[in-house]
Amino acid sequence: MAKLTTEEIIEALKEKTLLELNELVEAMKEEFGVDPTAVAAAAPGAGAEEEEPSEVTVTLTSAGAKKIGVIKVIREITGLGLKEAKALVDGAPSPVKEDIDPDDAEEIKEKLEEAGATVEVK
């Protein structure tokens, strides 16, 4: 039996009706024991490329050695009072800003890291 190329298979499928294509899918399920639609959906690269998230959360994981500097930056970023900013830093790991633009998150991360904090963006 001659091996068919992908182009030949596609051309043959174009000539089939929807009912015939459905029968083909059912026959493939029986023959191979796999649902071809599930395989296509699970295949890496089958769909659109993975996009960057549109909203991220900046989390303070550690204040580091320069805790006072980190508290000042937290107050600047969030607008919190001294007591609230200190509580946020003391309670690390804790979210600093949630559901923000990834570019803004990178700026916040840089500011906090310059102050000596350890930051995570998710």
Dmax (CA) of the chain: 79
Residues facing 95 on adjacent strands: 59
Q: How does strand 118-121 pair with strand 94-100?
A: unpaired
Please give the CATH architecture assigned to the domain spanning 56-121.
2-Layer Sandwich (3.30)
DSSP 41-53: HHSTTSSSPPPPP
What separation, in Å, do the N-terminal and C-terminal C-alpha atoms of the chain show?
A: 53
Q: Which helix (H) or strand (E) holds 95?
A: strand 94-100
| Domain coordinates in residue numbering, the chain | 6-42, 56-121
Mark the ranges of the chain whose per-residue pLDDT is less than 70: 1, 36-52
Note the pLDDT tens digit of each residue in 38-64. 656 665 555 455 566 778 999 999 988
pLDDT (0 to 100) of residue 65: 87
Whole-model pTM: value is 0.56
